[in-house]
């Protein structure tokens, strides 16, 4: 009985030590992604203002993104991970995406959030599986952030994202863009 239990536990906690290369990729890409997220919401707040009723909803999400980026900035330093060389590009791309969708209207801005946060939520889910038991703290951090991102996703849906004209097409394009940015930022 005891023996079986031990075996199960070993199987469940398969990854004991996180591969250094994978750890670097995770921190690099999350740092890039969270930076991009702050820039998307900056772009949207520039259009809606932070004091309007709608702007306050965006500001609520933007404040959480600030907490996320600050955490990854610390992790970059602590773990001596090279940040992506494309940070300035993601900063501009994120801002333009935020401002453009906001310019299209409230629903389009929320459709952008739904598309981005569903990719990030899924991406964080994959990372949680990749991290070993030597990275419990980082795992907890990513789980917490994943919860925030999925909350942002739901806020988007609650705010009529799906009734945006061309919702499927728009979210598809944004989703492909995010996935491409993720793939590049892991390496470059
Ligand atoms: Fe975030
Ligand atoms: Fe988010």
Tens-digit pLDDT profile for residues 53-89: 999 999 999 999 999 999 999 999 999 999 999 999 9
* pTM to 2 decimal places: 0.87
pLDDT given for residue 48 in this prediction: 95
Report the first-to-last Cα separation within the chain, whole angstroms: 49
Ligand nearest to the CA of 144: 1
Q: Comparing C-alpha atoms, which of 101, 110, 98 is closest to residue 160?
A: 110
Rounded to an integer, the average pLDDT of 6-34 is 79
Ligand nearest to the CA of 61: 2
Query: Given pLDDT bands bounded at 50, 70 and 90, which one contains residue 12?
Result: low
Positive or negative torsion for Cα 44, 47, 53, 55: positive
Q: Tell which residue, 60, 111, 86, 54, has the closest CA to residue 183.
A: 86
In the reported structure, the alpha carbon of residue 153 is separated from the centroid of ligand 2 by a whole-number distance in angstroms of 8
Question: 2 CA to middle of ligand 2, Å?
Answer: 43
- Report the separation in Å between the CA atom of 67 and the middle of ligand 2, taken as the mean of its atom positions: 10
Q: In 3D, which of 141, 17, 134, 152 has the Cα closest to residue 74? A: 141
Helix, strand and coil content of the chain, in percent to the nearest 5, comes to 85, 0, 15
Burial class (CB in 10 A: 0-12, 13-18, 19+), 103: middle
Condensed to tens digits (0 to 9), the pLDDT of residues 148-186 reads 999 999 999 999 999 999 999 999 999 899 899 888 988
DSSP alpha helix (H) spans, 49-166: 53-78, 87-104, 106-130, 136-158
165 C-alpha vs ligand 1 centroid, how far in Å?
Answer: 26
- Closest ligand to residue 114's CA: 2
pLDDT grade for 187, boundaries at 50, 70 and 90: confident
**Interval between CA 10 and ligand 1 midpoint (Å):** 32
pLDDT band of residue 13 (cuts 50, 70, 90) is low
């Amino acid at each position: 009985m005891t023996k079986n239990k031990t075996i199960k536990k070993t199987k469940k906690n398969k990854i004991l030590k996180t591969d250094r290369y994978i750890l670097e990729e995770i921190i690099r890409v999350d740092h890039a992604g969270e930076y991009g997220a702050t820039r998307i919401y900056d772009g949207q707040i520039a259009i809606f203002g932070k004091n309007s009723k709608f702007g306050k909803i965006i500001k609520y999400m933007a404040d959480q993104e600030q907490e996320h980026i600050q955490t990854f900035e610390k992790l970059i330093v602590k773990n001596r991970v090279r940040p992506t060389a494309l940070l300035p590009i993601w900063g501009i791309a994120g801002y333009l995406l935020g401002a453009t969708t906001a310019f299209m209207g409230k629903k389009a801005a929320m459709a952008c959030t739904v598309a981005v946060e569903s990719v990030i939520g899924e991406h964080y889910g994959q990372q949680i599986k990749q991290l070993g038991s030597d990275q419990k703290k980082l795992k907890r951090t990513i789980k917490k952030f994943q919860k925030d991102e999925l909350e942002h996703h739901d806020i988007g849906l609650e705010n009529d994202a799906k009734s945006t004209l061309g919702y499927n097409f728009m979210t598809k394009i944004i989703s492909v863009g995010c996935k491409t940015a993720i793939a590049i930022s892991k390496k470059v």
